[in-house]
Every structure is written in C-alpha cells, then in structure tokens.
Chain A
C-alpha cells in the first residue's frame, strides 16, 4: 500500500459547483498534510497546508483532516475553469525521516 493515495480522476464538475478531492494515507503518525496544484506543463505549487484535525479555510479552498479515518480532503467552492489542474496531496512518511510523499494526483476539470 502506498503511503498516500488519490483517485486519479478525472473529476469533472460544472462551473460554480463545489469540487471535492480526497486523499487517504497509511501512516497513522502523520501530523500534517499539503495540497499542491499543478497546471499542465508547470511545477506543483503549494495551495493549502493543514496541521490539525478539522477544517482550515482559505478563500474558496477548505482543507479537511480526519486523523481517525486517515483521510484528508480539499474542497473548492465556486469552481472556476481556471481551477482545472491536477491536485496533489502530500504527507510526511515518519519512518523515512519525515520525507514528504505524494499521491498520484487527481485531475480536476471545471466545465463552463
């Protein structure tokens, strides 16, 4: 089992809808997670960090961490075509010196 797993998608949502992206992880000791957005042909860019159980909101983005169920999610409200990208979830692998490991990414398509 990979340390961090994501559904590859594509996830297709209409413009203005809420996009929900999910990630599961295997390392129960992981304390913090990061969401990255990667546009085609570009490098990943950090969009959200979450360090504790519960929700964290930043503009149209909400990250949710549920340690008991070992999943982390990213909600994008009022989705825009410009949100179309691949979203990568990353978390530390404690048995490898806290090396960050990435999920395979979920491709999001927001249709006008």
Chain B
C-alpha cells in the first residue's frame, strides 16, 4: 500500500520567505510526527499529533514554526520568515495510534535549503 508521502521533495527558498511542507500519512494512521534532521545530526522532534488530542508542540524551535493537521489526515508544517539555520531535511512519520506497540513509518522527507 501507499506509504507516507511528503511534498515537495526539495525546496529552495530565500531568507525571509515563508514555506509550507506537506505530509500525507498512511491511511488510517492516527498519530503523525514531524522531525528535523540537519546534516550529520540525529532526529530533532518538532511536533506530535495523536487523534483529536491537542498536539504536543514542545519541540518547535521558535514561534516561526507551526503545524496543522486537517481532518485527522494531511498535515502542513509552516515556517515563517525562514532563516539559514532552518536548512535541513524535514521528516514526517505516522503510526497506527498512540498505543505503545505502534512503530513509525517515515516519508522520504523534504530537503529545505534557505539561501
């Protein structure tokens, strides 16, 4: 079946512009995560959606970052007034739910370059 889909796969933007990154999770998956990974670094947690619960936004690095999940499915990560330090790969992942036995399935990521 279809996996987690992210778009665009690559995005180059000028410093100060806003960007939107999209994630389409596996159908039926209620949990959705956003991570950021800079070159050679580990996964940096950004935000976690679980069903209709309030999202866990504890990983968002600044108020320039926000995310929405509409209808419990597609999610959009928005970065306002982009900075060069925002350059990274942004990974989305989904799982069947908040149960502890649910592994994450990752998309291929969006590589963001801020010039």
By a CB distance below 8 angstroms, the chain A residues around B45 are: 101-102
Contact partner of A98 (CB less than 8 A), chosen from B91, B99, B108, is: B99
Contact of B100 with A49 in the complex, beta carbons under 8 Å: no
Q: Is the pair B107, A32 in contact by a Cβ cutoff of 8 Å?
A: no
| Interface status of B76 (Cβ within 8 A of chain A) | no
| A97 and B53 contact, CB distance less than 8 A | yes
**Size class of the contact patch on chain A:** 20 to 34
Q: List 5 A-B contacts (CB under 8 A).
A: A31-B100, A32-B101, A99-B98, A100-B33, A105-B43
Chain B interface extent, by class: 20 to 34
- Mask of B82-109 contacts with A, CB within 8 angstroms, 1/0: 0000000001000100111111111111
Q: Does residue A70 face the partner (Cβ distance < 8 Å to B)? A: no
Name the distance in Å between B74's Cβ and chain A's nearest Cβ.
19
Give the docked Cα–Cα distance between A30 and B99 (Å).
11
B103 to A98, Cβ gap below 8 A?
Answer: no
Chain A proximity of B22: nearest CB distance (Å): 16
Q: Which residues of B contact A51 (CB under 8 A)?
A: 101
Could you say which residues of chain B place their CB within 8 Å of the CB of A96? 48, 56
Asked whether B75 is an interface residue with its Cβ less than 8 Å from the other chain, the reply is no
- Which residues between 1 and 54 of chain A lie within 8 Å of chain B, taking CB atoms? 30-32, 34, 43-46, 49, 51
- Binding site of B, secondary structure by majority: helix, strand, loop or mixed? loop
The 8 Å CB contact of B100, one of A30, A43, A44, is: A30
1/0 per residue, CB under 8 A from A, across B38-57: the answer is 00001101001010010010
Distance in angstroms from A90 CB to nearest chain B CB is 7
Q: Is the CB of B106 within 8 A of A97?
A: no
Given the complex of chains A and B, what is the CA–CA distance between A51 and B105 in angstroms? 17
Minimum C-beta distance from A88 to chain B (A):
7
Q: How far is the CA of A104 from the CA of B35 in the complex (A)?
A: 13
- Assembly CA distance A30 to B101 (angstroms): 10
User: Given contacts A97-B50, A102-B43, are A90 and B109 in contact (CB under 8 A)?
Assistant: no
- In the complex, A23→B107 CA distance in Å? 24
Residues of chain B contacted by A31 (CB below 8 angstroms): 100-101
